[in-house]
Amino acid sequence: MEWDYTYNLDLPDAYRNAQLAAMEKGRKGKTSVKSYFPDLDSVDQQQLSDDLQMAVDINQRSICLLRQDLESVLQELEKANSWNSQLIATKNRQEDEIAFLKRQVLRTHMSAILKVKNQENMIQELEQKLRDQTEKFEVQQKQMASTNLELAQSKSSCNDLKQELDSLQQKNNEKDEEIQQLTLQHSIRDNSCDKTTKELKALLDVVEKELQNERAINSDKTMTIIQLRNQNAISLIAQKHLASKNEALERESKKLKAVIAKQKNSLLLQERNLKDNETLNATVTEVLKVKTFLEEENSQHKEFEQSLTPLKEENVCLKSTIVKLEATKKRVENESSRLKTKNAKLEDDLSSLKSINTSLMSTNEVLRKTVSDSDAAKASLHDDFYKVLDLIQQQKDQESKAETQLVLLKSTIKKLKNSKTQLEQQVAEDRTTMTELQAEVERLRQRLEYHGQPTVALSPINNTPRGDSRCVQKEGKVPET
């Protein structure tokens, strides 16, 4: 409650003039009452005493009200101080939490940086391995060129073997059927190889188009692309002499196309600056896959040739066995008589074998029981395996939850920073209010000190309500100041 301490007294003009004169002099020194009130004799003494008593009462009431106001202001100051201390404590707590969260974020950031560095090292190692594999691939291509000559020679030897097989058809009908099947398979594989060569040519055309686009981007790598194209042409020449797995070639070509598309998409997203190198890596991987497939085909062709060599040996052996069979025929006739005598002994052995069979049946039942026990053990092992899979899935879920918690922690850090700024603003506002309240308290103290002087005419009269119940005199006594 603010007071207006202007001295607007509801008194006669003499009193008002005297008051203004006293204010101009500044109340310096002790002067008599008549000097302040020169017309005191002409004024009614009773009216003057009543007015003075009323002024004293109002002054005492105003002092009491000022005390109550000052106490309420002090209480508010204490509350503000306690609130300010709480705010400072919460601010310190939040700063500690922010520091802890910053440490956690730094740890996660450092771990992420280490993971990225490890991945970069892995990429460098893979690139080095790829370079080594390309060098090995070039060496193997040279070896393939030498093997192609051997394949041509083996084809001529195969034709010789066919002629020998035709001569042997009259002697051995059973072997002739097997040789016919092998020749049919060989012709089917030749047809399948022609189809696969056409598909490989189409794939090579696609690869050549991609390589032409890459030539315009990087002229330094054109020599390696030409070498790869020559190597693919050499592999096509080798493919004509190989014969097997047409369906496997189709699947591999589809897989290669899918792999090329996936690698292109992943390369565009991950490393835009390394388009040229990664496209070359993709082509190298394709050629490596083709090379491995050709090696498998070459091995199968060698196995086919090796399977033909025992047929030659068997044909030579058949000629010798025909001579031997004629000699053994005579021996068989001699031994047939011996077998008749042995047959009687075998009948005796049959009876003993029947007894043994009964014992084997009993052991068979025991084995069935053990098989059922093993099936139960397998079922328990399957259950354990699925439990392990569930645990792995739970670990993956926990890792995803940890990632979400990381995101939440980052959001809480931002919120705490915002709340910190708000708290700092509130603390600044509270400090300004504290300074204002302290200034108000100082002003009230000065006013109280000012009203504690014995001058009665200078106290406020009209600005205080007479019916105010906050300060009541007890039995006409003046309240203590």
- pLDDT tens profile 419-458: 677 767 877 777 787 777 777 778 777 877 776 544 333 3
pLDDT for residue 377: 60
Close Cβ partners of 23 (under 8 Å, ≥ 6 residues apart) = 7, 458
d(CA 298, CA 293): 9
- pLDDT tens profile 195-229: 666 666 676 677 667 766 765 666 655 566 566 66
- pLDDT tens profile 239-290: 565 656 656 666 766 776 676 667 666 656 666 655 555 666 666 677 677 7
The structure tokens 């490596």 sit at 288
pLDDT higher than threshold 60 for residue 30: no
pLDDT for residue 65: 81
pLDDT > 90 fraction of the chain, expressed in percent and rounded: 0
Give, in degrees to the nearest 5, the angle at Cα 386 between 384 and 389: 115
Integer-rounded Cα Rg, in Å, for the chain is 57
pTM of the model: 0.22
pLDDT for residue 166: 66
Which residue type occupies 394?
Q
d(CA 437, CA 311): 116
The structure tokens 């300004």 sit at 432
Question: If you average pLDDT over residues 143-149, what whole number do you get?
Answer: 71
Q: Could you write out the DSSP letters of every residue in 377-437?
A: HHHHHHHHHHHHHHHHHHHHHHHHHHHHHHHHHHHHHHHHHHHHHHHHHHHHHHHHHHHHH
* 68 C-beta neighbours (distance < 10 Å), count: 12
How are the residues of the chain apportioned to helix, strand and coil, as percentages rounded to the nearest 5? 85, 0, 15
pLDDT higher than threshold 80 for residue 114: yes
| Average confidence score pLDDT of the chain | 66
pLDDT for residue 142: 76
Which of the pair, 238 or 128, is modelled with greater confidence?
128
Give yes or no for a contact between 228 and 287, defined as CB atoms under 8 angstroms apart.
Answer: yes
* Token pair in block for residue 109: 């950031």
pLDDT for residue 31: 47
pLDDT higher than threshold 60 for residue 119: yes
